[in-house]
Structure 1
Amino acid sequence: MQLPELSPVTSKRKSPRFQCNNIKAELFQNGFHTTGEVVDFSPRAFRVRIQGASSALFYRFDKELPATIRLYDDNDVFYIGNCRHMYQQQSDLGVEIVVRPYQIQKKRNKDKIIRNPRKQGLPAISAIFEHPLMNKTFQRKIADISTSGFSIRDKADAAVLVPGMIIPNMTITYAGLLKIHCKTQVVYRKDESSTRFGLAIMDMGIEDYNKLNQLLNNIPDNEEDMINEVDPDELWDLLFDSNFIYPAKYKHIQAFREDFRITYKKLYNECPAIAKHFTYQKDGRIYSHISLLRAYERAWMVHHHAARARDGVPTGLIVLKQMISYLYDLRRLPSAMLDYFICYFRPGNKFTDRIYTGFARQKLNPQVCSLDRFAYISHRANDVKSGLPEGWTLGECSKSDLWELEQFYMHHSGGLLLDVLDVKNNPQPALEQVYARQGFYRKWKAMALHFSEDLKAVIIKEESDVAINLSDLLNGFKIFVMDPDLSVNVLLAAVENIARAKSTETYPLMIYPIQYAENKNLGSDENYMMWILNARHANEFIEYIMKRFRMILN
């Protein structure tokens, strides 16, 4: 072989570099801090230019120690992570420094005790995203996906993602028809036959989450007939057959049976932002049902859990399992506003006692899971409203009233109810607007009953559409009686003064503590337990359910 005397030399980078557009950078290390702009990047390094700077700036920068880099623009942060110095050079425009991120593979969610199954080999599902550093759109095929994240494959010499990078504008598309929008973060890179990137879903709207959940549930590998379409007559039949609607409750709701049909047809088909349901059906017959409703700003209510046996086999756990799987990843999404789970149930029901009461008693920590017992009274409004006796006043709660209510409740319960109501911050207009956009109504307001200047009771007026909850638990009054000697006539007069705008003939009063109703012989129709779970401890509840019912969720 003979070589020419002169030959060109061609060098090729192992990883290509990509130009960046209007991306700012901050570099931190102990007391050192500087800002600049990102010139270009590769999957392994960032090149940052600090304009107008000299090398003297870096005398306090220790090249042997890790530093932290933050990449951002005027609207979003795209990367924050540790890096190490590779090299730097002085130019006419300033100092250019190249840093390499530490490629540490970390799970975004450390506490996963269950993992919703990942679907693989879907031919028509892709990820389309706007690269945050390049302002350029890319499309990649999704290798596997669940409600918590997905992975994509790329050629090593064409990879444009960096572990730790945040992608605010990601779209999951199925067959070009269904589009699901989310915010993701690259959590790992694996170099196999091709380069594989794992992306965790950081946030998405609840409508998009429902689309993704429905898409994954409809991919055949599920032996259970979980059907979203609900016939209101079949649901009504289930509620009667399972004794969910018992004679006393039917007497209360019979006047708005038609409202029930209209409300639930709309709620289940058109309102994913405030409601979700799960039914187990076979040949058009509903065997079990459970539903969720966003009852408060940061709390979702589990209600209408009813079941009947199919061929002698209980079915209630089937929908409970589906609901837990649905909520497990939903609770991680900031847009879901899911800080608390709540549930009302009558004491003495063996099934609910095993699930809810059993867990609360096991934890013995009301800041993890609280149980509050209310007396429930169906009160018939008087045609003529009586005024309050002299010396009594009724008005909106002041800060001092709310502070006194908090002290009273924490002394008696120590639970989470006031966190759920969040009357201190009065955030409900946001939820009001969410309901209004769906064509529904939801509101609550705290009123204080005083004698002279002494607080005697706090009355929370709750309003919602008729039949949105069959026990009307969101369309009545929660009453916290601070003075056990408070006259019943005065209390009812205060309630009726607040209720003047209500059109219903009867409305429920939920009185706390229950001893007041018992001592005053109010003749409560029944008692209700209000169960509240802090969503940060959802793992503990799921572990309890799995062990208690020998349930396999993943």
Structure 2
Amino acid sequence: MVIALQRPLFQDGNSGIVDSLQIQSILQELIHQMIRVRVSISKDPVLYEAYIIGIETKHPPPRLFLKWRGTETSLKSCSPVVVSFVFNSHAYFFEIRVIEPAAGCFSLSFPEVLESYPPRALPRLQYPLAVPISIEFPDPWAYRGKLVRELDDIGYDGLSYRTSPEDRPPASGLLISRIDLFLFDQPCYSTSAKVLYVRPCSDFQGKRFHRVGAVFQERERPPLQGGVFFKENECEEIIIPSKIKICLRKLTAYKAPAYLQDAAQKRPVLYAVPEEMERQDLSLLSFRIEESRSSRARFAVGRLIRVHYIMDETLYLFLSSVCRSETRRIILKIPERMIQIRRRKTLRCIPPQGEEIRIHFKNPLLDQDMVRPVLDLSETGLSISLDLNRNFLFAGMRIHDALLNLNGRPYPLPRILIQSVKTIRPHRGRLCCRIGISFEYLPDETRQAVLDILRHERHPFQVESGEHLIPGLWSLHYQSGFIYPEKHDSIMEMKKEIDRTWKRLYSEGSQFFINFALVHDEKVLGSGSILQVYEETWLLQHLSALKHPLMNTGKEINLGLAEELFRNHEIHYIKTYFRPDNPWPNKNFRAFAEEHLKPQEYDLTRYRLYHRHAGPIPTAWGLPAGVEVGLLRNPEQEMIRNYFAMTGKALYARSESLFGHGLDLMETSRLYRMSGLRRNRRIFAVRRGQEVLCFSVAEDTSVGVNLSGLLNHFRIYIVSRDREIVDQVLPFLVNEALSFYRSFGYSKVTLMTFEPLDAILNEWGFSYIRDYYCLTYCRQSIFQYQHYVREKYGKLECRMLRMVKYSHEGAAHQAPNQ
């Protein structure tokens, strides 16, 4: 018989307890510990709070005695009820019937089955809370009003609170823009939340209220309880076949990218996409290999393959043998075990031997100075250990004016927050407390010092280039093929000017230029740089690397640049140029954009490049009546904005500051002038009355900032559809740009355009050189690119060491069975 009641909303994976003695033992603990239960009654929307006060098993039938108020009129004999509770981090519920209702005390039938659910994926603190936590948020029904409520329970994914009798409950789905959490009446966390449900309830005394559940909108988790952010055991082994198949079905359903590698040989990692599992044979798993150079890879039957993928911020790893290998397709057996490793949001490192890192702060409760060595360090915080008897710190406590000592030099930490407190037992040691500390504010000097340590620890061969590395960079660009014969000829014509520019770029420590180099045995093996070219846009350029038997130089350079792009919050857009026949950027940048980004999150434009001497174009006629040429005027910016919106290039226009206050790149030009360099831009327009017919964007930059000359060019954009009038005025527009370049001493100019102007440009003396792709990402795409690079190149934080260890042990363990 099925009872139509509101069951608790738990996760799938329940298991029933049918042993009556075990059920009785659990219920006796509820009585002994006075643990509150919740009761749901058929055809009654209210959820009641109650306590189990006794169990009668001597006289049949066995029964339970519950005590609560407020339901005497609605509860009758044989009424079905559902009782739910949480005990030892497990959720339980059972369905029973009322035997005898009484005033405030009810006898119910003894449950035959007690259904149990596993612990929640995210811990939750339940009422009554060990420490007083209250929330403050705007009143949804009153303008400028605020409400303060005590929490009912709270977890890392959401919270619930009780309304007052006079409150009007919020509507389900309402977005609360700001919720402030207070611990001991001190603010400890702010976030936004969305109302998930509103349910009428009744407490043990019979007072009615509404229970409001809200889920946090941010990914960050509030600091509630120790042991979540700083875990000791991060690896969990999955050996139950049903759970393994659930994980793999989820992998195939979401098409999460997987990475395959021969476990016995050092072959490159294959980028693959899982296919649907065959229903007829649930013991096989199929992958479609996506990389073109690896599409012909074949694996012998029985060969052991290492597979890892990331889903829900968790790394999954397993070893499996090949069942069948086809072109661009590989079929594996379902593994016997999997390892899941929870990923951290920020990379952390253990201080290397020989480096002394300590934190100095004053305990506000003891009024004592404390100096402790740092166990691990990250961009957002650190952890320390304290003797169990000396620990008087709790999660949520704020400490001011601390110091971080890095190799004998103190750096200020104005505000830090105790994030977690966990009791651990080190190897062969006594119990101690591991304290997780987060940085609430870091001065620029402290942040840079921490980043320098982390950068060197994550990429030990990676250093920032200085003036002394310039000869090595020239050698690298020639040996890697970055400078090909045509580019060599143009560089030699201006070698002296380029050398002067490079000395300023690499030695001044400018705010608009960051370069990375991989140096091994005093030889530069790889290099890359990012450069501010517009008000909010940086250019990724000069990527080159040499092969080396001891390291993947391209991987290290890409990882370092991705980290810097994400860490530098001044970068709102990133832009890069590459030739269509260059395989590496096509496979890395273009493939990422087309496979992982939405169309509105990136812009890919193919330009044609033309060269010409800087002399004016002869014109046999004058401008048509009513047409004039000059600098773009402010009122005409709206026409330019509409043009890019209609052509689907709004992101491209924003990245190049083509409207607003950045038309002349005043702030960017100022940064260049501070380093003795120049960066200028002029926008010329041809107008007829209030209409802009066409316009050009001319850019000038010091020679050598970009070796391909991609920052010293002008572009043409045709707005009017009247091609007859446009053909008449285009020579005058081009002459304005040529005059701009002659004023800076140019003898040759470069034109980039995606417009079909080949015939007319040939008449004017322009010669076609080559095509270039221009790829632009927005800020959100930069975050996704950082995540993509970490997964693509296997630098999965510090867990790679564990992966290697597991791979060797797993291969030895599973190879005989495969």
TM-score normalised to structure 1 length: 0.70
Distance 1:201 1:385 in 2: 64
Query: Structure 1 residues 301, 425: closer, same or farther in 2, change over 3 A?
Result: same
Cα deviation for residue 138 of structure 1 reads 8.5
Distance 1:121 1:549 in 2: 24
Amino acid at match of 1:406: R
Distance 1:128 1:517 in 2: 68
Distance 1:516 1:171 in 2: 63
Query: Structure 1 residues 171, 371: closer, same or farther in 2, change over 3 A?
Result: farther
Amino acid at match of 1:466: V
What's the counterpart of residue 407 of structure 1?
Answer: 642
- SS of 2:494's equivalent in the other structure is helix
Distance 2:597 2:179 in 1: 44
1:39-54 correspondence runs (5 A): none
Cα deviation for residue 278 of structure 1 reads 1.7
1:515 is the counterpart of 2:756: yes
Cα deviation for residue 496 of structure 1 reads 2.4
Amino acid at match of 2:652: L
Amino acid at match of 1:117: R
* Structure 1 runs not aligned, ≥5 long: 1-25, 36-57, 72-76, 83-100
1:199 to 415, 438, 460: 438
Distance 2:410 2:759 in 1: 56
Amino acid at match of 1:143: L
Cα deviation for residue 199 of structure 1 reads 0.8
What's the counterpart of residue 310 of structure 1?
Answer: 548
Amino acid at match of 1:366: P
What's the counterpart of residue 38 of structure 1?
Answer: none
User: Could you list the per-position Cα deviations for residues 184-225 of structure 1 after superposition, in whole angstroms to 9, with x for gaps in the alignment?
Assistant: 6637131432461321466654x7655433333445x75646
User: Could you list the per-position Cα deviations for residues 455-486 of structure 1 after superposition, in whole angstroms to 9, with x for gaps in the alignment?
Assistant: 12232232332211112222332332324733
1:490 is the counterpart of 2:732: yes
Query: Structure 1 residues 127, 528: closer, same or farther in 2, change over 3 A?
Result: farther
Cα deviation for residue 240 of structure 1 reads 1.9
Cα deviation for residue 162 of structure 1 reads 6.4
What's the counterpart of residue 714 of structure 2?
Answer: 477
CA contact (8 A) 1:119 1:216 kept: no
Cα deviation for residue 141 of structure 1 reads 4.6
- SS of 2:668's equivalent in the other structure is helix
Cα deviation for residue 275 of structure 1 reads 1.7
Distance 1:59 1:152 in 2: 46
CA contact (8 A) 2:501 2:704 kept: yes
1:287 to 525, 528, 547: 525
Cα deviation for residue 551 of structure 1 reads 5.6
- SS of 1:251's equivalent in the other structure is helix
What's the counterpart of residue 420 of structure 1?
Answer: 655
1:127-276 correspondence runs (5 A): 127=359, 141-152=373-384, 163=396, 172-177=404-409, 179=411, 186=417, 188-192=419-423, 193-194=432-433, 196-200=435-439, 205=444, 209-219=447-457, 224=461, 226=463, 228-229=465-466, 230-276=468-514
- SS of 1:375's equivalent in the other structure is strand
Query: Structure 1 residues 388, 214: closer, same or farther in 2, change over 3 A?
Result: farther
Query: Structure 1 residues 383, 162: closer, same or farther in 2, change over 3 A?
Result: same
Cα deviation for residue 350 of structure 1 reads 0.7
CA contact (8 A) 1:373 1:514 kept: no
CA contact (8 A) 2:602 2:775 kept: yes
Q: State the number of aligned residues.
A: 472
What's the counterpart of residue 535 of structure 1?
Answer: 779
Distance 1:433 1:170 in 2: 36
CA contact (8 A) 1:70 1:81 kept: no
Amino acid at match of 1:198: I
What's the counterpart of residue 343 of structure 1?
Answer: 576
Amino acid at match of 2:437: G
Distance 2:631 2:713 in 1: 17
Query: Structure 1 residues 337, 312: closer, same or farther in 2, change over 3 A?
Result: closer
Query: Structure 1 residues 430, 247: closer, same or farther in 2, change over 3 A?
Result: same
CA contact (8 A) 2:738 2:749 kept: no
Distance 2:676 2:702 in 1: 10
CA contact (8 A) 1:298 1:338 kept: yes
Cα deviation for residue 415 of structure 1 reads 5.4
CA contact (8 A) 1:321 1:553 kept: no
What's the counterpart of residue 6 of structure 1?
Answer: none
User: Could you list the per-position Cα deviations for residues 480-504 of structure 1 after superposition, in whole angstroms to 9, with x for gaps in the alignment?
Assistant: 2324733342231121244353222
CA contact (8 A) 2:528 2:544 kept: yes
What's the counterpart of residue 358 of structure 1?
Answer: 591
Amino acid at match of 1:421: E
Cα deviation for residue 59 of structure 1 reads 13
- SS of 1:530's equivalent in the other structure is strand
The Cα RMSD (Å) is 4.6
What's the counterpart of residue 103 of structure 1?
Answer: 224
Cα deviation for residue 27 of structure 1 reads 6.7
User: Could you list the per-position Cα deviations for residues 156-200 of structure 1 after superposition, in whole angstroms to 9, with x for gaps in the alignment?
Assistant: 878678638597x77644223474x67766371314324613214
Deviates more, 1:272-281 or 1:136-145: 136-145
CA contact (8 A) 1:517 1:523 kept: no
Query: Structure 1 residues 399, 266: closer, same or farther in 2, change over 3 A?
Result: closer
CA contact (8 A) 1:299 1:339 kept: yes
1:462 is the counterpart of 2:699: yes
Larger RCO of the pair (alpha carbons < 8 Å, separation 6+)? 1
What's the counterpart of residue 5 of structure 1?
Answer: none
What's the counterpart of residue 524 of structure 1?
Answer: 768
User: Could you list the per-position Cα deviations for residues 55-97 of structure 1 after superposition, in whole angstroms to 9, with x for gaps in the alignment?
Assistant: xxx99999xxx984799xxxxx986549xxxxxxxxxxxxxxx
Distance 1:381 1:459 in 2: 16
Distance 1:403 1:190 in 2: 56
Query: Structure 1 residues 272, 213: closer, same or farther in 2, change over 3 A?
Result: farther
- SS of 1:532's equivalent in the other structure is strand
Distance 1:127 1:191 in 2: 19
CA contact (8 A) 2:487 2:708 kept: yes
2:610 to 363, 374, 377: 377
Cα deviation for residue 279 of structure 1 reads 1.6
CA contact (8 A) 1:279 1:287 kept: yes
Distance 1:531 1:295 in 2: 14
Query: Structure 1 residues 347, 67: closer, same or farther in 2, change over 3 A?
Result: closer
Distance 2:608 2:677 in 1: 28
2:351 to 107, 120, 127: 120
Deviates more, 1:189-198 or 1:273-282: 189-198
Distance 1:170 1:528 in 2: 51
CA contact (8 A) 2:419 2:436 kept: yes
Amino acid at match of 2:716: I
CA contact (8 A) 2:696 2:733 kept: no
CA contact (8 A) 2:476 2:544 kept: yes
Distance 2:181 2:550 in 1: 62
Identity, % of aligned positions: 17
Cα deviation for residue 362 of structure 1 reads 1.5
CA contact (8 A) 1:347 1:529 kept: yes
Distance 1:78 1:500 in 2: 62
Distance 1:468 1:294 in 2: 11
Distance 1:542 1:467 in 2: 28
Structure 1 or 2, whichever has the larger Rg, is 2
CA contact (8 A) 2:685 2:733 kept: no
CA contact (8 A) 1:159 1:195 kept: no
What's the counterpart of residue 290 of structure 2?
Answer: none
Query: Structure 1 residues 214, 312: closer, same or farther in 2, change over 3 A?
Result: closer
- SS of 1:525's equivalent in the other structure is strand
Distance 1:482 1:61 in 2: 58
Cα deviation for residue 143 of structure 1 reads 3.2
What's the counterpart of residue 623 of structure 2?
Answer: 389
CA contact (8 A) 2:518 2:557 kept: yes
- SS of 2:588's equivalent in the other structure is helix
TM-score normalised to structure 2 length: 0.49
- SS of 1:472's equivalent in the other structure is coil
